[in-house]
């Protein structure tokens, strides 16, 4: 009865005074499974609508008032928000937003259809990031329609979860810095009892690209039993770091692989507890039974260790075989972080593992991942 008399509406009273539906002109939906980083949580439907960061999002808002009643509103806005969110300790921070007014204040009676067109390229003073959902942190986007209501009640709001993609192809030259005369696309392992160098020509790649190069072994004082390359993703979130191995590529196979570590060792490692000093490093870097790690090897006849002579080996890592890979985020924030403790980023690395008869040696280089036009997940209108 009170609702009928006074048209109270919005969360905290009885119900929204308006029924609101958002209809997009371009509905490019993909699965967005179980993401805990969407705010507010009730806007998540298991789907995500994809757009480019410079596209125009257009559609219509269908608003219905209660039967036979005319309801005042203070204007209708369409807003796209980007926010950076991590675990509870970090909270959520709005990175940037773009808002337009699509209907001036007035009364709505019955059904009203409001068209809208929001050009993402009109964002000023900031740059849209690509969406990302990870273990430590996330970059998410929402399209929010808000109908302003008087001060004594609540605004009526509806949200759609968006996923923005940024087309920014890999450059033709390396992005990293030369260190002590060594280019950023050359990876040397210095303590393997000889010379081991992996040269892969460039350090920047598109998502569907291939990392190709050559491994040179020379002046070996001890035999090389196996050679593997790991593709690693690292998340940085306000001082915390989460490292995950995405791909293990075998170049030289170990003829007698070490036994896998006992389950309690894996549990201790995940918990950050101290491991038994007698536990072999090779055991702890064996991903044979880890289903989350993609395993590949060089095509053709497998090369089996040990290798004792000078050898040149071709290498080809296919990034397209790694599911859910994203572009690199050097920094997710709109402002430059003051220190590494403030860094929120997602970065990728290649690690060369060299197992000799004496020990396991390795070295790591950063690579930079980009999205080309052919890497977008939907058809563009021509």
Is residue 1 predicted with pLDDT exceeding 70? no
Domain assignment present for residue 48? The answer is: yes
**Residues 143-183: pLDDT tens digits?**
999 999 998 888 999 999 999 999 999 999 998 888 888 88
Question: What's the pLDDT score for residue 193?
Answer: 82
Question: What's the pLDDT score for residue 323?
Answer: 86
Based on the fold, state whether residues 143 and 10 are members of the same structural domain.
yes
Rounded alpha-carbon distances, angstroms, from residue 71 to 2, 61, 101, 219, 269: 15, 16, 18, 84, 61
Based on the fold, state whether residues 368 and 255 are members of the same structural domain.
yes
**Residues 99-144: pLDDT tens digits?**
999 999 999 999 999 999 999 999 988 899 999 888 888 888 999 9
State the average pLDDT for the chain.
83
Domains held by the chain: number:
2
CATH number assigned to the domain comprising residue 274:
2.60.40.640
Of 329, 312, 285, 284, nearest to 217 by C-alpha is 312
Based on the fold, state whether residues 146 and 200 are members of the same structural domain.
no
Based on the fold, state whether residues 210 and 359 are members of the same structural domain.
yes
Domain assignment present for residue 39? The answer is: yes
Last residue of a domain, one of 130, 165, 200: 165
Based on the fold, state whether residues 15 and 82 are members of the same structural domain.
yes
pLDDT band (50, 70, 90) for residue 282: low
How far the first Cα of the chain sits from its last, in Å, is: 54
Based on the fold, state whether residues 104 and 219 are members of the same structural domain.
no
Domain assignment present for residue 75? The answer is: yes
Question: What's the pLDDT score for residue 276?
Answer: 46
Question: What's the pLDDT score for residue 30?
Answer: 83
Domain assignment present for residue 277? The answer is: yes
Based on the fold, state whether residues 252 and 328 are members of the same structural domain.
yes
Question: What's the pLDDT score for residue 316?
Answer: 93
Domain assignment present for residue 382? The answer is: no
Based on the fold, state whether residues 205 and 102 are members of the same structural domain.
no
**Residues 318-352: pLDDT tens digits?**
999 998 889 999 887 777 766 666 678 899 999 99
* For range 264-293, the mean pLDDT: 59
Based on the fold, state whether residues 234 and 302 are members of the same structural domain.
yes
* One-character DSSP codes across 142-190: EEEEEE---TTS--EEEEEEEEEE--BPPPSS--SPPBTTB-TTEEEE-
Domain assignment present for residue 223? The answer is: yes
Exposed e or buried b per residue across 303-324, where buried means at least 16 C-beta atoms within 10 angstroms of its C-beta: bebbbeeeeebebebebebbee
* One-character DSSP codes across 320-345: GGSTT----BS--SSS--SSGGG-EE
Last residue of a domain, one of 106, 135, 165: 165
**Residues 48-104: pLDDT tens digits?**
899 999 999 999 999 999 988 899 999 999 999 998 886 554 556 778 899 999 999
List of residues 6+ apart from 180 with CB closer than 8 A: none
Q: Identify the domain containing residue 369 by its residue range.
A: 186-375
Of 51, 52, 50, 54, nearest to 121 by C-alpha is 54
Based on the fold, state whether residues 192 and 302 are members of the same structural domain.
yes
Better-predicted residue by pLDDT, 22 or 40: 22
Comparing 253-267, 282-296, 321-335, which segment has the lowest mean pLDDT?
253-267
Of 156, 5, 134, nearest to 76 by C-alpha is 156
Share of the chain above pLDDT 90, in %: 44
Residue 208 gets which letter from DSSP?
A: T
Domain assignment present for residue 380? The answer is: no
Based on the fold, state whether residues 214 and 342 are members of the same structural domain.
yes
Domain assignment present for residue 170? The answer is: no
Based on the fold, state whether residues 230 and 355 are members of the same structural domain.
yes
Last residue of a domain, one of 165, 196, 211: 165
């Amino acid at each position: 009865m009170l609702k009928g008399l006074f048209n109270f509406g919005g969360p905290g009273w009885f119900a929204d005074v308006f029924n609101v539906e958002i209809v997009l002109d371009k509905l490019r939906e993909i699965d967005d499974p179980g993401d805990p980083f969407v705010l507010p949580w009730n806007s998540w439907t298991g789907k995500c609508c994809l757009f480019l960061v410079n596209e125009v999002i257009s559609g219509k808002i269908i608003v219905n008032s209660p039967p036979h009643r005319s309801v005042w509103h203070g204007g209708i806005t369409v807003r796209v928000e980007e926010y950076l969110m991590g675990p509870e300790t970090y909270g959520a921070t709005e990175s940037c937003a773009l808002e337009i007014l699509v209907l001036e204040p007035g009364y709505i009676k019955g059904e009203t259809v409001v068209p809208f067109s929001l050009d993402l390229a009109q964002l000023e003073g900031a740059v849209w990031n690509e969406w990302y959902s990870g273990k430590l942190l996330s970059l998410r986007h929402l399209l929010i329609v808000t109908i302003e209501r008087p001060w004594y009640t609540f605004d009526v709001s509806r949200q759609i979860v968006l996923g923005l993609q940024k087309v920014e192809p890999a450059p033709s030259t390396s992005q990293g810095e030369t260190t002590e005369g060594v280019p950023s696309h050359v990876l040397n392992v210095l303590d393997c009892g000889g010379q081991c160098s992996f040269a892969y020509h460039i350090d920047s790649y598109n998502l569907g690209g291939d990392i190709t190069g050559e491994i040179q072994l020379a002046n070996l004082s001890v035999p090389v039993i196996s050679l593997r390359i790991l593709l690693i993703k690292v998340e940085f979130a306000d001082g915390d770091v989460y490292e995950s191995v995405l791909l293990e590529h075998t170049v030289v196979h170990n003829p007698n692989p070490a036994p896998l570590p006992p389950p309690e060792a894996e549990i201790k490692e995940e918990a950050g507890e101290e491991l038994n000093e007698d536990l072999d490093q090779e055991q702890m870097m064996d991903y044979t039974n880890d289903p989350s790690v993609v395993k590949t090897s060089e095509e053709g006849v497998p090369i089996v260790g040990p290798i004792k002579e000078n050898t040149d080996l071709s290498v080809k890592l296919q990034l397209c075989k790694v599911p859910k890979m994203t572009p690199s985020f050097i920094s997710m924030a709109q402002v430059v972080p003051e220190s590494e403790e403030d860094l929120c980023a997602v970065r990728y690395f290649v690690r060369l593992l060299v197992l000799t008869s004496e020990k396991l040696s390795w070295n790591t280089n950063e690579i930079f991942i980009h999205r080309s036009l052919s890497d977008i997940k939907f058809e563009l209108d021509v």
